[in-house]
A and B are shown apart, each in its own frame.
Chain A
Amino acid sequence: MYKLLLAGIFAVVLPAGCFPLPDEPPEEGGPTNVNARFIVEKVSISGPGSSPKLSEPLRTELGQVAGQNFDQTLLDRLAERIKNELHVPDVSMHVTKSDTPDHVIVTFEIGTEREKRFDLDLARFLYHSKQGWSGQGHATININNNAFSFGMVSDGDQLAERYAGIQAGYERRHVGTDRLQLRFDFASYHEQWNEASLLLAAPDDIYRTRTSFSPMATVLILDPLELSFGVDFARYRLSLPVAKTESSNAVVSTLRYHQRWGSARSDRGEHDLRASYTLRAGTHLLEGDAVFSRHQSQARYRFRRGRQELAVGFLAGTISGQAPLFERFVLGNAETLRGWNKYDLDPLGASHVAHGSIDYVYRSFLVFYDSGAAWDRPDQREQKQSLGVGCKKGGFQLAVAFPVRAGAVNPVFYAGMNF
């Protein structure tokens, strides 16, 4: 009989073991996360280059979380804001028990972008109604912090000439330390010249082909300030009846600053400031034919909040000595004095330049104003202005620009991406 009783017990206990009852009767109300009763003891951020770039308001908010009850929604929101401010692919949150009872420690871990083994990108694409098509594409292979790239380019926008050819590069992103990078660039171009340029140029100014090799090192001095230095060896074949090759070998130094803070979604908005100063000095010491020094300062500040974006740009430069044409400053393209034709302004570029621009974007609607001057002699200095409207979405831009001048209005139309 006791065995039948045992069987009965089995029959009851076994299913009960599979489907145990809760320890206490169901209750109502209260937070759904049982950890909401714990106090956050400390909030920290881990990962590469994290805390220095956070805005003051966000740092304050993170500090205020300590001492409060664990609130997953709030912490998720803060993680999202950190991600937006630092522009990193991911921010994960880790919560651990503290040594103090009922206290937890929250750590936001900054994720790094996963390196793509193979990357194909259209670095630049542009149609300009006065200058035609320009395009640049690259294929990059990444192998253990080494990047090998190969690209093709045809550009009629940036320089006085149209240059088309191949580019190849090697980059080592960490040389012993994260603060040092090495880069080697090689390019080989064929040049095409506009009639206006040919009319003005001296016979030994015009070249048919150009090759360059440029080893450069970049040192991160103090985040976000970095210094690049190296040499640019350029050789170009002149368009003379007797083939002659000249060289322009220059020492190159660039001091670069890029800081971004805030978030476009916050009330204070996102601020992005880029500034650089570049010195290129062509010297006989490197056995170059051209002796010159070229100074260029550039700055761009961008503010974004919600659907609005305001960008202010500035460019100034000067060349002393005899620099080849590809070193000279050009205004009147898709980035400077938009609306003007560079061949009407300075078909051979200029040795001095000053330029400023203001762009305002609401949603995708773009308006801009450019003003600048390019000159060789002080008496040639004449300020030009232009206005334009268009649409801008992500890297894509389509606009029509008008030169501000008396007489016939001859607008310039351009469309493209990443320029």
Chain B
Amino acid sequence: MMRRRTIKTWWVIAAFISGLAFALAAEDLILSTQDNRLEFAAPRLHFLVGKPLERLRNAAEVSFAFHITLFSGNQTHKLKETASRFVVSYDLFEETFSVTKLVTPRRTARHLTNISAEAWCLREMSMDVSGVGVKEPLWARLEIRAEDTKDGGLPFGRGNITDSGISLTSLIDIFNRPPAVTQAHFNVETGPVTLDELRHSR
């Protein structure tokens, strides 16, 4: 009798872990809710790689433009979108990353590994979903583009950064243009999912 109960418990644990692992493996973009905010994670997506990483290891700072779009209906209706810019640099001596979110006031996180730097950026992209129907099927798309700061030394070019911060319009405009051939860019999507499902899956 005792033996049967033990097996059942392990079965639940194994199912939970494998389910979680499957969820992580199956979806590139993972959604979760915290109060009225939709949060994002993409543990399989690594943007601190290749040319951007090469530049970072050469003491340069690299800017990344993030854009998240939330769709509803049949993935045709753009419900919400948010965009942000992050400047990443790599400490040559500590061999850790530093990330600054270009908002007013600035937010910076230091002494991060590459994984935690990537995760910090995504956590900063959370979206207010108050007013979105809990049963409404949602799709989310994340786009990340690395920008070359060589042009004038200003991330995302001159004129986009003002005293009041960064022009959101210009930032969203970036994603309305196709990425340059040499530009590192990443896209991941997920859905359909409802807020109700997300709240119950916590």
Contact = CB atoms under 8 A, between A and B. Distances in A.
Interface of A: 3-4, 6-7, 10-11, 14-15, 18-24, 26-30, 32-35, 38, 70, 72-73, 76-77, 93-97, 101-102, 104
Given A29-B105, A30-B108, A3 B59 contact: no
Interface residues on B, range: 35 or more
Nearest to A22: B109
Contacts of A102: 93
Contacts of A93: 58, 60
Contact of A22 (B10, B43, B59, B112): B112
A2 B16 CA distance: 16
Nearest to B13: A7
Nearest to B61: A33
A72 B120 contact: no
Given A18-B43, A23-B111, 20 more contacts: A7-B13, A18-B41, A18-B119, A19-B119, A19-B122, A19-B123, A20-B116, A23-B109, A23-B110, A27-B108, A30-B106, A32-B100, A32-B108, A34-B89, A35-B90, A72-B61, A72-B149, A76-B153, A93-B60, A95-B92
A380 to B, nearest CB: 60
B27 interface: no
Contacts of B101: 26
Nearest to A77: B153
A94 B59 CA distance: 8
A27 B43 CA distance: 24
Nearest to A14: B20
Nearest to B57: A95
A7 B16 contact: yes
B65 to A, nearest CB: 14
A364 to B, nearest CB: 26
A94 B58 contact: yes
A3 B119 CA distance: 29
A73 B107 contact: no
Contacts, number: 114
B115 interface: yes
Contact of A26 (B10, B12, B109, B150): B109
The 8 A-B residue pairs with the shortest CB-CB distance in the complex, in nearest-first order: A73-B153, A22-B109, A95-B59, A34-B98, A32-B87, A26-B107, A18-B43, A33-B61
A11 B110 CA distance: 27
Contacts of A28: 105-108
A35 B113 contact: no
Contacts of B90: 34-35
A35 B58 CA distance: 10
B168 interface: no
Chain B's interface: helix, strand, loop or mixed, by majority?
A: mixed
B17 interface: yes
Nearest to B113: A20
A104 B59 contact: yes
Contact of A4 (B9, B92, B100, B149): B9
Contact of B10 (A3, A96, A97): A3
Contacts of B93: 38, 97, 101-102
Nearest to A25: B109
9 contacts: A4-B9, A15-B20, A19-B116, A22-B116, A32-B100, A32-B102, A38-B59, A94-B58, A96-B92
Contact of B153 (A30, A34, A72, A97): A72
B91 interface: yes
A122 B58 CA distance: 41
Nearest to B44: A18
Contacts of B59: 33, 35, 38, 70, 72, 95, 104
A22 B111 CA distance: 7
Contacts of B193: none
A30 B99 CA distance: 12
B172 interface: no
A38 B105 CA distance: 25
A30 to B, nearest CB: 7
Contacts of A24: 109-111
A73 B61 CA distance: 10
Interface in B10-43: 10, 12-13, 16-17, 20, 24, 41, 43
Nearest to B16: A7
Contacts of B155: 32
A157 B58 CA distance: 54
A274 B57 CA distance: 42
